[in-house]
Structure 1
Amino acid sequence: MTAPRTVLVTGASSGFGAAVVRRFAQDGARVVAAARRADRLAGLAAELGAGVLPVVLDVTDPEAVTRILGDLPEQFAAIDVLVNNAGLALGLEPAQRADLADWDRMIDTNCRGLVHVTRAVVPGMVERGGGQVINLGSVAGSYPYPGGNVYGATKAFVHQFSLNLRSDLHGTGVRVTCVEPGMAATEFSAVRFAGDQEKAEAVYDGMLPLTADDVADTIHWVATRPAHVNVNTIELMPTAQSFAAFQVARG
């Protein structure tokens, strides 16, 4: 089991993405760290050294995805592992009160952004006869909860897209995995609640959630299996979290 040579991580400026960059960089891999926040990326590159290439990229801009990923420096251009991590949840209102702009942004980032990045990278993997796509799904794609509406639907899309991508890539040597975490203490809830830190912290009150490092370790494990092993889907939750009970309206 050796570290992949070159790894591209989207949403790399914080949370799971930053932890994944650090985990692969520890093994000496070259890592393309892509995200919107240039200052965060610069800090990550300064911390980890020349093996990390910071790339300012908004995955919701298809022209930028094609241009920037098609013009990477030669030593970073042949991507062995793509970690499609960029994504977000916005709001927790029921569908009848939800903000359509929030819905559109989740679809643009979690679905359209993911597929555009994948389409930009996968042909090179096929040409080279190997590689791996690791998509960040969520338990929200399998288990509904009040207010999860479009966020959960986007992650169900990621799950099914991963399975179909694996079918399309059959025989090419390119592997595909969907990693589906449960509750994790990152900036996720702060983003969902528009920066309301009190609401964000209340999500994890009295329980021990997953950490970004837990998820990064899982992704690293998936990526370092022998070439003949494909982990199709892996789901992880904190021990304190389980499956939701059925909702029952009474009276």
Structure 2
Amino acid sequence: MKTALITGVTAGIGEACARLFVADGWHVIGTGRREDRLDALAAELGRALTPHAVDMRHRAALEAFAAGLPPIDLLVNNAGYATKADPLQDAELDPILGMIETNVIGLVTLTRAVLPNLIGRKGAIINLSSVAATYPYRGGCNYAGTKAFVRQFTLGLRGDLQGTGVRLTSIEPGMVETEFTVVRNGGDQAASDAFYAGTEPMTAEDIARTIHWVATLPPHLNINALELMPVNQSWAGFAVHRPEA
């Protein structure tokens, strides 16, 4: 039986991944901050899921957690969040720093800590980046910056791990309707609903199936980066400011 470590399984893509990998016969070690949701998922999936309440912002806790892991075949770095899409000059600093701690520092800390484990198994790492890493938008500089780091970190780490047999992939989704946007809007479900209205966005299950496909490819094949969008999403034109005369 193969084992996957999936971060952020208490909602969205991480939760969908946990269900899909368990259904395919994997054992899943799932992390999250919300213990009640972890317990509920563990009750649903049974012994196939080992839950761990871990906060990605706490370096010492991450390192202690990694030190106690059994052999793993896959790390899915899914945990992350975004602050409100405010221009930097109008944004509060503390939420931005918390996002960087989660999306960047926590991801690097956990990845480094589990590398000996994965190298020993010739495993795989799948990191959740975003199309925001490539296509900028107003109010997204902080979130996009973290996801650009994730993309480049993934590609660079491939070079570091050349010859070890470890595979690395950056998954870069566009619009996916999950709790993510509700959280980004301060819990405003109506704002999230309005954002996705009429767009036929991707689902958490769509991305989970993509991650599962990458993870189960032949071991000699590596997908470096994979960008996904719903059909109704594309690129915006250049923004041009025309001051009034």
User: Which residue does the alignment assign to 2:224?
Assistant: 232
Q: Amino acid of the residue matched to residue 63 of structure 1?
A: A
Cα separation, 2, equivalents of 1:200 and 1:69: 35
Aligned length: 243
Cα separation, 2, equivalents of 1:24 and 1:244: 35
Classify the secondary structure of the residue corresponding to 2:235: coil
Q: Amino acid of the residue matched to residue 99 of structure 1?
A: E
Q: Amino acid of the residue matched to residue 11 of structure 1?
A: G
The answer for unaligned runs of 5 or more in structure 2 is none
Match for 2:89 among 68, 71, 96? Answer: 96
User: Which residue does the alignment assign to 1:143?
Assistant: 135
Q: Does 1:45 align with 2:47?
A: no
User: Which residue does the alignment assign to 1:159?
Assistant: 151
1:151-187: per-residue Cα shift (whole Å, max 9, x none)? Answer: 0000000000000111100000000000000001101
Cα separation, 2, equivalents of 1:127 and 1:51: 22
Classify the secondary structure of the residue corresponding to 1:60: coil
Match for 1:86 among 56, 79, 89? Answer: 79
Classify the secondary structure of the residue corresponding to 1:67: helix
Match for 1:171 among 148, 154, 163? Answer: 163
User: Which residue does the alignment assign to 2:241?
Assistant: 249
Cα separation, 2, equivalents of 1:153 and 1:51: 35
1:189-243: per-residue Cα shift (whole Å, max 9, x none)? Answer: 1111110112111110121100000000000000000000000000100111001
Cα separation, 2, equivalents of 1:44 and 1:69: 21
User: Which residue does the alignment assign to 1:217?
Assistant: 209
Match for 2:67 among 50, 70, 75? Answer: 70
Match for 1:60 among 51, 54, 57? Answer: 57
User: Which residue does the alignment assign to 1:17?
Assistant: 14
User: Which residue does the alignment assign to 2:188?
Assistant: 196
Could you tell me the TM-score, scaled by structure 2's length? 0.97
1:134-161: per-residue Cα shift (whole Å, max 9, x none)? Answer: 0000000100011101000000000000
Classify the secondary structure of the residue corresponding to 1:203: helix
Percent sequence identity over aligned pairs: 51
Q: Amino acid of the residue matched to residue 235 of structure 1?
A: E
Runs of 4+ that moved beyond 2 A: none
The answer for unaligned runs of 5 or more in structure 1 is none
Cα separation, 1, equivalents of 2:72 and 2:170: 18
Q: Does 1:26 align with 2:19?
A: no
